Amino acid sequence: MVNQRNRLYLITGIVCFFAILWLLIDYFSWAEITVCPVKIVSGYPCPSCGTTRSIQALMHGHIGEALMINPFGIISVAIVIGVLILLILDLTTKKDYYYKTYRKIELYLQKHKIVSAVLILLVIINWAWNISKGL
69-93 tens-digit pLDDT? 889 889 988 988 888 888 889 888 9
How many domains in the chain? 1
Range 71-95 burial, b when 16+ CB lie within 10 A, else e: bbbbebbeeeeebeebbeebeeeee
Q: Domain span at residue 90?
A: 2-133
Of residues 78, 81, 55, the one with CA closest to residue 66: 55
Dist. CA 110–CA 105, nearest whole Å: 9
H-run or E-run covering 134: none
The tens digit of pLDDT for each residue in 7-51 reads 888 888 888 888 777 777 766 665 566 667 778 888 888 888 888
How would you label 7-23 residue by residue, b for 16+ Cβ within 10 Å and e otherwise? ebbeebeeeeeeeeeee
